[in-house]
Amino acid sequence: MNKQVELKNKRIIASKHVKLGEKNRMGQTYTDINDIFYNSEQTPNFMTGSEVIREAIKRASVGTSVAYPITPQSEAAALIGEIYAEGYLDEYFRGESEFAVMGQCAGASFGGHRVFTTTAGPGTLRAMENFPMWAGSRLPIQVCVTCRGINSPLSIQPDTLEMHYLLETGMLVWHAETAQDLYDFILKGFIVAEQPDVHVPIAVCCDGFFVTHTKDTVDLSPLDKCLTPYDPYRNPQPVMDMETAPIRMMRDPFVMKSNYISYATHASWQQEIKAAVERSRKHTIPLLDGLIDEENIDREILIVGSGTAVSQSREAIRLLEAEGIKVGLVKIKTIRPFPYEEIRQATKNAKHIFVPEFNVAGWLAREIKANIPDNERVYVGPHVAGGMTMPSEVIVEEIKKHLGMEVASRGTLG
Amino acid sequence: MSHYEVKPGPEAFLPPAAASMGNVLPDPGEAHIGGKIVPEEEAYDKAARMILGAKVPTIFPGPLVLWKWTDHVAEKAKAIRELAIEAPMRIIPMADYRPKYPKIEAAVEINPNHPNLTIWHNKIDVCIFIGVHCHMANLSLKIIRGGTSCYTIAMCAMSGHEDACLSFRDADLAMIEKLKATIKKLKSEGVESQAIPFTQFKMSRSGPIVPA
């Protein structure tokens, strides 16, 4: 289905924003994304993922951010409040619930602001109705999802099940492995999501606590350079204010009318949102250096993963290597668009494909199984869920067990 | 590479979005014909020949060029009218995007929710979308490809349209004038317009003014 977009020159088409080169009220210069990442010195800093979110938003020329507390994103939301007080954002306030927050984000985005918010776990689910609404309205809002458990009895610990619910909302869904990814994805995500041919919302996901609450070394771009502001005149459709032409669609007999025409329009509309997600490949590939990263994919055993499951897999691969078992790795950076062709190519020589995940459903393995030939090669797991950690030794054990190798005893009772 | 060719329909009850079939939009200086990326120059020639070879070539100007929201837009609108006269082509506006209920006046307007009705009614065989917001243009282009045999051309001021049979990108005043110049050049070389003679209707606030 999907063509692999070529990396022509590893640069996204440069911004022509009228404010390029001008300074904002904080003294930051509006700078093309290419110059921010590829022509500027990146300085290492040691900080938590929440602090990284704050640093990215300082440089993102965000107009509005709306906050609502829910662990583990509360700290990031509070830190954005602090930089609002310093003058980095135009608007910041607390919503009444996650559902209200996402509606308020929509209003700010309809009004022409660049909008950022954060949520997690049950908050993501409570807000869910808004996400396809954002996409259908072509609102390029960014929500940072710091994944945690969603089900009762509540767990505040990391679990990526909520990402499964986001997959068909029409949003771009990117999955950060590290705090560095998180920083890069937030800034680059705005640029990709706001391209006129894309112009859909983006969920930048990370695994809560593992990324948000641990410290890591992150290379930050200079604080005196920030993204060019959102340009609402590059919106592929006029604001749907529901009252005024040219797009008073909701109040006219269209949505409510049951006839063939309204169904056909809805179908074409839904296709267009999916098409917009596909179009993002062209802009994402140069900025993220591909939708996947590959290491030793010529090996017969491969691990394919996303998020912190990749970090755990790297260590598992090192442990296996010490025993003479060679394993390759594919890291998936974008879940939507899903890198179908890239994964088909990367896994073509593999005989055994393992997909470790931090959720009970195994949705990533399902996506992969649905899109590669000879999918009996895919081993769905290992899984952990509900906030469990995934020790590298568990990945090692699962691979060895599956391959019929001897596994060290876990010990017995009595 | 994608093998999905974007050509006039009727293609299917619900044709796919070309982007979902792997088609990619052109970069600056490029266009696409049928889904194949080509240099912009090639697209001018193809578009001009399609317009001249059509019986009912029609321009569908959208709100972005129908309303004077910048001086540049007014210049573009004038150039579009000159293009229509040069070809010659009919002009049928897409003034807004609301579905027309209970019935569209297909002779004088087009709507993105049921563009096929206008195309069928007027027997339009080649059309140009210009000044239509990209989302609405794509909505229309798929429906047209699904149910009609009309050849669609997009002169997009943004990134272009995979769902058109031929698409320019970054279409500004100069590009509209260049398309007009290409038509003029072909005509000077002996390529004749096949358009059925017509009189362009005019509208008042209360509806169409029947041509004298």
What are A18-44's pLDDT values in tens digits?
899 999 999 999 999 999 999 999 999
Among the listed residues B161, B122, B168, the one whose alpha carbon sits nearest the alpha carbon of residue B142: B161
How close, in Å, is residue A268 to chain B by CA atoms? 5
Is the distance from CB of A119 to CB of A145 less than 8 angstroms? yes
d(C-alpha A332, C-alpha A310), whole Å? 9
Q: How far is CA B126 from CA A238, B14, B53, B154, in A?
A: 26, 21, 9, 11
pLDDT of residue A109: 96
Q: Say whether pLDDT at A4 is over 60.
A: no
pLDDT of residue A407: 81
User: Predicted confidence band at B104 (pLDDT cuts at 50, 70, 90)?
Assistant: confident
Domain with CATH 3.40.50.970 in chain A: 29-234
Among the listed residues A206, A230, A180, the one whose alpha carbon sits nearest the alpha carbon of residue A33: A230
User: Predicted confidence band at B87 (pLDDT cuts at 50, 70, 90)?
Assistant: very high
Q: Can you name the CATH fold of A29-234?
A: Rossmann fold (3.40.50)
Among the listed residues B41, B18, B38, the one whose alpha carbon sits nearest the alpha carbon of residue B26: B38
d(C-alpha B152, C-alpha B193), whole Å? 18
Q: How far is CA A88 from CA A116, A226, B24, in A?
A: 13, 10, 36
Q: For A217-225, what is the mean pLDDT?
A: 98
pLDDT of residue A413: 59
CB contacts, 8 Å: A196 with chain B:
134, 158-159
The chain A residue lying nearest B13, using CA atoms, is A264
Q: For A110-124, what is the mean pLDDT?
A: 96
d(C-alpha A237, C-alpha A276), whole Å? 13
How close, in Å, is residue B167 to chain A by CA atoms? 13
CB contacts, 8 Å: B112 with chain A:
265
Rounded to 10 degrees, what is the CA torsion of B164, B166, B171, B174?
-150
Q: For A324-349, what is the mean pLDDT?
A: 97
- The tens digit of pLDDT for each residue in B14-40 reads 999 999 999 999 999 999 999 999 999
Domain with CATH 3.40.50.920 in chain A: 292-402
Among the listed residues A295, A322, A298, A327, the one whose alpha carbon sits nearest the alpha carbon of residue A398: A327
Answer whether B162 sits within 8 Å of A248, measured CB to CB: no
Answer whether B135 sits within 8 Å of A237, measured CB to CB: yes
d(C-alpha B155, C-alpha B169), whole Å? 6
- The tens digit of pLDDT for each residue in B122-178 reads 999 999 999 999 999 999 999 999 999 999 999 999 999 999 999 999 999 999 999
pLDDT of residue A88: 98
Interface test with B, best of A235, A247, A258, A336 (most B CBs within 10 A): A247
pLDDT of residue B207: 76
Is the distance from CB of B151 to CB of B143 less than 8 angstroms? no
User: Predicted confidence band at A85 (pLDDT cuts at 50, 70, 90)?
Assistant: very high
Q: Say whether pLDDT at A254 is over 60.
A: no
Q: Say whether pLDDT at A277 is over 70.
A: yes
- Phi, psi for residue B110 in degrees, rounded to 5: -130, 150
Answer whether A264 sits within 8 Å of B27, measured CB to CB: no
Residues in contact with B26: Cβ distance below 8 Å, sequence separation at least 6, in sequence order: B32, B37, B38, B160, B167, B169
Mean pLDDT lowest for which of A64-73, A106-115, B124-133, B201-210?
B201-210
* Domains of chain B, start order: 31-186 (3.40.50.1220)
Strands A301-305 and A378-379: unpaired
The region, left, alpha or beta by phi > 0 then psi within -120 to 50, assigned to residue A95 is beta
Q: For A188-214, what is the mean pLDDT?
A: 97
pLDDT of residue B38: 97
Q: How far is CA A261 from CA A257, A266, B117, B149, in A?
A: 9, 9, 10, 19
Answer whether B98 sits within 8 Å of A245, measured CB to CB: yes
CB contacts, 8 Å: B163 with chain A:
275
Each residue of A380-408: b (16+ CB within 10 Å) or e? bbbbbbbeeebebebbbbbbbeeeeeeee
Task: Find the CB nearest A236 among B2, B23, B134.
Answer: B134
Q: Which residues of B touch A (CB under 8 A)?
A: 1-2, 14, 16-25, 27-28, 63, 95-99, 101, 112-114, 133-136, 138-139, 142-143, 146, 158-160, 162-163
CB contacts, 8 Å: B95 with chain A:
245-246
pLDDT of residue A264: 83
d(C-alpha B16, C-alpha B163), whole Å? 9
Is the distance from CB of A143 to CB of A134 less than 8 angstroms? no
Q: Kindly state the percentage of chain B with pLDDT values over 70.
A: 98
The region, left, alpha or beta by phi > 0 then psi within -120 to 50, assigned to residue A87 is left
Q: Can you name the CATH fold of A292-402?
A: Rossmann fold (3.40.50)
Q: For A142-166, what is the mean pLDDT?
A: 94
pLDDT of residue A245: 59
Answer whether B63 sits within 8 Å of A234, measured CB to CB: no
Q: Which residues of A touch B (CB under 8 A)?
A: 1-3, 5, 8, 13, 138, 195-197, 199, 234-238, 245-249, 252-254, 257, 261-262, 264-265, 267-269, 271-272, 274-276, 278-279, 281-282
CB contacts, 8 Å: A8 with chain B:
27
How close, in Å, is residue B121 to chain A by CA atoms? 16
d(C-alpha B90, C-alpha B14), whole Å? 28
Q: Kindly state the percentage of chain A with pLDDT values over 90.
A: 84
Among the listed residues B123, B53, B67, B134, the one whose alpha carbon sits nearest the alpha carbon of residue B95: B67
DSSP H/E element including B155 = strand B151-155
Q: Say whether pLDDT at A197 is over 60.
A: yes
d(C-alpha A295, C-alpha A314), whole Å? 10
Strands A292-295 and A215-220: unpaired
A72 prior amide bond cis, ω within 30: yes
Is the distance from CB of B2 to CB of B32 less than 8 angstroms? no
Arithmetic mean of pLDDT over chain A: 92
Interface test with A, best of B6, B64, B135 (most A CBs within 10 A): B135
Residues in contact with A268: Cβ distance below 8 Å, sequence separation at least 6, in sequence order: B14, B138, B139, B142, B143
CB contacts, 8 Å: B25 with chain A:
197, 279, 282
The chain B residue lying nearest A242, using CA atoms, is B98
Q: Say whether pLDDT at A132 is over 80.
A: yes
Answer whether A267 sits within 8 Å of B14, measured CB to CB: yes
- The tens digit of pLDDT for each residue in A340-392 reads 999 999 999 999 999 999 999 999 999 999 999 999 999 998 999 998 999 99
User: Position A216: which residue type?
Assistant: D
How close, in Å, is residue A369 to chain B by CA atoms? 20
The chain A residue lying nearest B16, using CA atoms, is A271
Task: Find the CB nearest B143 among A138, A199, A264.
Answer: A264
Burial class (CB in 10 A: 0-12, 13-18, 19+), B151: buried
pLDDT of residue A1: 45
Q: For A118-140, what is the mean pLDDT?
A: 96
Strands A172-175 and A202-207: parallel
